[in-house]
Amino acid sequence: MSVQTWTFIIVGLTFALYIGIAIWSRAGSTSEFYVAGGGVHPVANGMATAADWMSAASFISMAGLISFMGYDGAVFLMGWTGGYVLLALLLAPYLRKFGKFTVPDFIGDRYYSNVARTVAVVCAIIVSFTYVAGQMRGVGVVFSRFLEVDITTGVYIGMAIVFFYAVLGGMKGITYTQVAQYCVLIFAYMVPAFFISIAMTGNVIPQLGLIGDVTDGSGMALLDKLDQLHTELGFAEYTTGTKTMTDVFAITFALMVGTAGLPHVIVRFFTVPKVKDARVSAGWALVFIAILYTTAPAIAAFARTNLINTVSNEQYASMPEWFKKWEETGLIAFTDKNEDGIIQYVGDKDKNELTIDRDIMVLANPEIANLPNWVIALVAAGGLAAALSTAAGLLLVISTAISRDLIKMQIKPDVTEKGELMWARIGAVFAVIVAGYFGINPPGFVAAVVALAFGLAAASFFPAIVLGVFDKRMNREGAIAGMVIGISLMLWYMLKFKFGIFDGGKDAVAALQPGWWFGISPEGFGTVAMTVNLIIALIVSRLTPAPPQEVQDIVEDIRVPRGAGSAHVH
Amino acid sequence: MASLDKRAKEYWKENIKYVLILLSIWFLVSYVFGIFLAEPLNAIRIGGAKLGFWFAQQGSIYVFVILIFVYVRLMNKLDKKYEFDEI
């Protein structure tokens, strides 16, 4: 059977499964809509968190990025997993004990202020929207490549599916669909990885293949072979990288703290029954994430070696079929500069003749390695599962921010439960439409902003929540000053050094690099902005009155697990 | 058993101690082994990989997983010891 027939069958089956689950798990109350009734098993929640967390970027782009960055790719690997340690140790159990529905709920109550609540709502919506636009785009790309419909139609199909289960099922529908989506996406990621690992290293486990020897008879370690290829072609050595140590540190730290501060991740820990479930659930989430994240660097190294062996110094005319197919999409481009009909893929920019979009590595990998057609179709279904599960989680945060944090808590406190549920659904409809719009008309800056969303989350939420639990003396004035200054500083740095707004636009960005503070790139600046937030908050809080006694009592109460009721409606 | 207030204070003190120890290990494997000392550690090898590189792309992630489960175990015991476990 052809790749396309296989894709229709596998994608069709998985979609039928998601819709079936959505119908079975409809939400009947606001508590079910917001936090799945607070009755999700910790392992299931861990799986759902993993699917929620691993987006189209993790599934489609990350291995490709690492493959081109070599050692520097570690910033994503450590940054996007290490945050779960912070989440488990510093946030999840306490927020579960606090026992409400959203991050702005916590900020608003802990800092006894609707101003703080509003600041948090605005931050949550900005972070979630930039993210969700990227997901819908991912859905469109997978559809257009594998089902040969155009990207716009692909986005519409994706919108319809997400609309169905997010609006109908709320958190309950999303949670159980995400469990299914995790299974699909991890299966789709691992199958090609096993095949390629065996082919390249003779070891079925990719994590062991990465530290194993290549099977080409040279007896060399895979990574040594890759370093050698890189050096010969004039690229930087694969295992050392090119970024400065300070920048690697700053980016990794910003991603870790940003991960722990993302509202759609935090809210997942409100769905389990007890405080101790929240702790162990973070552990399970990381286990499920680590399976993919420790496989990704192996795939990256295999794909890189494979690619160089296939294309470097070969006749252009004798390139395999996948090469031509991706050339048509414009994601691979060859210009024969010295007109010898041979592909020169080298580090020197003036002599290099081949450009490869790093996003295609995972999608093209099964073809590069000559795997059967059903594996290629499976990868398409996996990419869709990753994008849809993350999109749904983000849409829920946005709809909840509208129905609960704005309508119920601020505009119309006397709204009935039924009315609030209706508002939540209206919010979800609104969010799906806006996300779809950005998927079809992506602003040029989406990709850049997604990376920076972590910086924004790090600079705003993380210190406010951690101080709210660990510093009883932290008050309204300190938290608001910290959040506002932290996120403003981050936005300013981003606009200045990423978009060049103050110096004549994007073309000026490269020239501004010597002006980076401490040599830190905009992606890593979240680390600095977070530190500033923390210091400002501590100073301001000590110069202003202590929080009222009842707030101090709340802090005492969330520090101990006993007495966490189910997440309830107030 | 001591008063609720005193129990809560001691419980919190021990919790902070655990968190500090575990976060030190978290910092050590990722930032120290994977970044600051990656270059000297690359002289040592684990299988076919340089150790600094391996910590940055593999080892630190395994340690993260272990850290969370150790924390869960320690805290479940602590909850029981101070009678703050959920009924």
The model's pLDDT over A41-83, given as tens digits with 9 standing for 90+, comes to 889 999 999 998 888 778 888 888 888 889 999 999 999 999 9
Q: What is the pTM of this model?
A: 0.90
> Which residues between 297 and 316 in chain A have a beta carbon less than 8 angstroms from any beta carbon of chain B?
297
Q: Is A495 within 8 Å of A502 (Cβ atoms)?
A: yes
**Could you report the per-residue pLDDT of A436-457, keeping only the tens digit for each?**
887 787 665 555 666 678 888 8
Both tokens assigned to A186? 């991890």
* Nearest alpha-carbon partner for A366 in A374, A376, A352, A380: A376
CA distance linking residue B46 with residue B48, whole number of Å: 6
**Could you report the per-residue pLDDT of A291-305, keeping only the tens digit for each?**
999 999 999 999 898
A499 DSSP 8-state letter? S
* Nearest alpha-carbon partner for A50 in A193, A188, A206, A180: A180
Backbone torsion region of residue A508, taken as left when φ is above 0, otherwise alpha when ψ lies between -120 and 50, otherwise beta: alpha
Which chain B residues are within 8 Å of A293, Cβ to Cβ?
61
Q: Is A459 within 8 Å of A486 (Cβ atoms)?
A: yes
A235 DSSP 8-state letter? P
pLDDT level of residue B30 (50, 70, 90 thresholds): very high
Which chain B residues are within 8 Å of A226, Cβ to Cβ?
none
For an interface test with A, the pick among B64, B71, B77, B83 (most A C-beta atoms closer than 10 Å) comes out as B64
- Where are the alpha helices (H) located in A36-150, listed in sequence order? 42-53, 56, 62-69, 74-86, 92-98, 103-110, 114-146
Burial category of A256 from C-beta neighbours within 10 Å (exposed 0-12, middle 13-18, buried 19 and up): buried
The amino acid present at A422, given as its one-letter code, is M
- A93 and chain B: CB distance < 8 Å anywhere? yes
* Nearest alpha-carbon partner for A227 in B55, B42, B82: B42
Euclidean distance between the first and the last CA atom of chain A, given in angstroms as a whole number: 56
- Asked if A276 and B62 come within 8 Å (Cβ–Cβ), the reply is no
The whole-number pLDDT of residue B2 equals 63
Q: State residue A356 phi and psi, 5-degree precision.
A: -125, 125
**Could you report the per-residue pLDDT of A246-290, keeping only the tens digit for each?**
999 999 999 999 999 888 888 888 888 888 899 999 999 999 999
CA distance linking residue A563 with residue A201, whole number of Å: 53
- Asked if A290 and B65 come within 8 Å (Cβ–Cβ), the reply is yes
Nearest CA in chain B to A566: B86
Across A300-315, b (16+ Cβ under 10 Å) vs e yields: bbbbbbbbbbbbbebe
**Could you report the per-residue pLDDT of A490-508, keeping only the tens digit for each?**
989 988 888 787 877 777 7
Q: How far is A323 from chain B (nearest CA, A)?
A: 29
The amino acid present at A538, given as its one-letter code, is L
The amino acid present at B49, given as its one-letter code, is A
Residue given tokens 């969700």 in the structure block: A132
The β-bridge partners of B45 are B50
- Asked if B50 and A93 come within 8 Å (Cβ–Cβ), the reply is no
User: Is B40 or A404 the better-scoring residue by pLDDT?
Assistant: B40
Determine how β-strand A332-334 pairs with β-strand B45-46: unpaired
How large is the angle between the packed helices A114-146 and A151-201, nearest 10 degrees?
A: 70
The percent helix, strand, coil of chain A (3-state, each to 5) is 75, 0, 20
Nearest CA in chain B to A237: B53
Residue given tokens 């006749």 in the structure block: A315
Whether residue A532 is predicted with pLDDT greater than 80 in this model: the reply is: yes
The whole-number pLDDT of residue A312 equals 86
User: Is A375 or B19 the better-scoring residue by pLDDT?
Assistant: B19
The whole-number pLDDT of residue A100 equals 76
Nearest to A294 among B58, B68, B76 (CB): B58
**Could you report the per-residue pLDDT of A401-419, keeping only the tens digit for each?**
888 777 777 777 887 878 8
As a whole-number percent, the residues of chain A with pLDDT over 70 amount to 96
The whole-number pLDDT of residue A445 equals 56
User: Is A154 or A53 the better-scoring residue by pLDDT?
Assistant: A53
Whether residue A13 is predicted with pLDDT greater than 80 in this model: the reply is: yes
Q: What is the average pLDDT value for chain A, to the nearest integer?
A: 85
- B24 and chain A: CB distance < 8 Å anywhere? no
